[in-house]
Structure 1
């Protein structure tokens, strides 16, 4: 079903939903723009995101978890998402496995509409496990470059290969020149992402991110590490409790000893005073007997 905004020339086609071109967008009123954004679907159909099993799901999840945890810790303002419907002006929608946009508010979104957000994507990571290789290895290389996505990384999980592409700096802000990616050449197995400020490399069957020599942890790794730290804290608390109980028992023994010493001193003093009293009485009796 198609819906049209005749004054702008925009026609929304539910079978092929696209955002307005930049020219159509510029002719729209704020109310018309809001109406169009509401019409653009947030759901991702299976033809854009076919299920590819646990290997595909885990690779995406681990990458997103690692990046989200890292940028939260360093306080960098960056928007990260996965399988989000993305609408460039006049283009068919797509939904990258992982996407990143620098210097925008990281609040929750249902979709990314470039004309609404004011910028396009800076980084895309796709994970290939099954299906048509041309989509990730050819179509996306051409599409993301043409749309101005600064970096495109492709993790070929089925062949355990990592491919990386970057737009030359002169092409990023020059719409008059065709945008064509250049391959990123790895150094000692590491691919540098200038967008993220991180290195990417394959560690066995996993894609890892590095900040310098430190690997970024995904959620599972953070859970294990924090669980170990929690176990240590609990063990220290239990040891501290044991020592506190032993100290309390020792203090109680010392208190009882002090009390016993005080009782003995008082008993000694009482006996001394009693002896002196008896001695005085004996002396008095002796003096009385002498006086008879």
Structure 2
């Protein structure tokens, strides 16, 4: 399929991102044009109809919980709701909530995997009414095929992230301890260098005194 073009032969033909093979063959300018050509919205044909306040509030609470968690952890994460997502050569989709770890959290109109260099780490679909098969079957199959981790409940996801952060903190503590040990060794080396310099200065001073004493003795002998 040509870069950034629509997929033919499909009802309501929708734009797709270039395949990864096509992406890798593009220049920087061609990639920028391909990304710009991808719409930052999805059509009604691609989305489920609105499901009311319960659906909306559930997304808002989950989004706020994740924002608060990562703010406390001081870890970069990009969070979005109903954002168009473009995997290479795949039909675009928009999840109720998505998260991508360790990326810049600036505002985006879409997530283009090839351009970002990273796929989604987490998606959350909130089901209140309508077609349950979409969330429980079709979306699960799609996300599994794309390599997106299993759809955990928001509490489970936060627990998993806390476990991950515990490991990160442990490694950070170990790195900090190694840094302190290196700093201590550097300080000891600096102290030894200062002691050597002090001894050299003392030796030079003593030599100068001895030379002066020798000169004085020579004068007296005359």
What is the CA-CA distance between 1:193 and the residue it aligns to? 5.5
Question: TM-score by structure 1 length?
Answer: 0.50
- Aligned twin of 2:69: 70
Q: 1:11/1:97 Cα in 2 relative to 1: closer, same or farther (>3 Å)?
A: closer
Q: Does residue 10 in structure 1 map to residue 10 in structure 2? A: no
Alignment size in residue pairs = 158
Question: TM-score by structure 2 length?
Answer: 0.65
- Aligned twin of 2:192: none
C-alpha distance in structure 1 between counterparts of 2:4 and 2:37, whole Å = 11
- Structural mapping, 1:118-157, within 5 Å: 118-153=117-152
SS of the residue corresponding to residue 99 of structure 1 reads: strand
C-alpha distance in structure 1 between counterparts of 2:37 and 2:2, whole Å = 16
Asked which structure has the greater RCO (Cα within 8 Å, sep 6+), the reply is 2
Structure with bigger helix share is 2
- Structural mapping, 1:197-208, within 5 Å: 197=162
Structure with bigger strand share is 1
What is the CA-CA distance between 1:191 and the residue it aligns to? 3.7
SS of the residue corresponding to residue 153 of structure 1 reads: coil
Q: 1:32/1:74 Cα in 2 relative to 1: closer, same or farther (>3 Å)?
A: same
**Offset from partner CA, 1:172-206 (integer Å, 9 cap, x none):** xxxxxxxxxxxxxxxxxx746575337xxxxxxxx
- Kindly name which structure, 1 or 2, has the bigger radius of gyration based on alpha carbons: 1
C-alpha distance in structure 2 between counterparts of 1:93 and 1:72, whole Å = 30
SS of the residue corresponding to residue 152 of structure 1 reads: coil
C-alpha distance in structure 2 between counterparts of 1:55 and 1:141, whole Å = 22
What is the CA-CA distance between 1:23 and the residue it aligns to? 0.5
Q: Does residue 24 in structure 1 map to residue 17 in structure 2? A: no
- Aligned twin of 2:32: 34
Q: Does residue 61 in structure 1 map to residue 54 in structure 2? A: no
What is the CA-CA distance between 1:56 and the residue it aligns to? 0.5
Deviates more, 1:59-68 or 1:144-153: 144-153
> Unaligned regions of 5+ residues in structure 2, if any?
8-12, 167-222
